Structure 1
């Protein structure tokens, strides 16, 4: 097994932080959803407009699920990019991380830009 470079180590730290944020966001959204289902419609007499069957609640849940799926796709791609970040001969994976940074996971800009810097430093020393 190859020893991890500092760029790859930072990539893994960012990857785990993103995972914690995604899971934490899911937990907070779930708790918020449970709390609002218990309160709406019963406290103020909201009926259909305040109840959980309102179309805006469903639309919000669909949007939340779409964002969650998008974040999971980004995490899977980032996993493979960080795993291959040790290869200083290849500029592809730092660029993939930079693209992921612009597509929604901005913390991936750090290992992506750092990987490009290391790539050019390694090629200048040859």
Structure 2
């Protein structure tokens, strides 16, 4: 029997943000494409913007799944970079996971002996 892996609080927050961003951007892009896109420039701009957000969301899937893998800093830093360059809300799980991973690394390096 396979046990289900528990998500950390930063991962839960990240998934909530992921769904909110996905739904809001999807609705905004859908509205622009179907109602307000009279010119080709608006359609091209909307398509490029939508494509970049799709790429962002795919990267975030991997970031959120691997946020605490080996207590490294890579995925929290990628999450923070996406928060700066894309959706600012991703700064929350990125910084939070970075703090947790840093604490876990410090505990591994300096175990308390009694």
Q: TM-score range by the shorter chain?
A: 0.7 to 0.9
Does the aligned pair in 2 maintain the 1:14–1:108 contact within 8 Å? Answer: yes
The answer (yes or no) to whether the contact 1:4–1:86 under 8 Å persists in 2 is no
Mark the structure with the bigger radius of gyration: 1
1:25: Cα distance to partner?
0.7
**Superposed structure 1 runs of 4+ greater than 4 Å apart:** none
Secondary structure of 1:125's aligned partner: helix
Question: How far apart are the structure 1 equivalents of 2:70 and 2:98?
Answer: 9
* 2:83–2:90 CA contact under 8 A, matched in 1: yes
TM-score normalised to the size of structure 1? 0.76
- What value does the CA root-mean-square deviation take over the aligned residues? 1.6
Change (3 A) 1:115 1:3: same
Aligned: 1:13 with 2:16: yes
CA distance in 2, matches of 1:112, 1:29: 30
TM-score (norm 2): 0.83
Change (3 A) 1:22 1:78: same
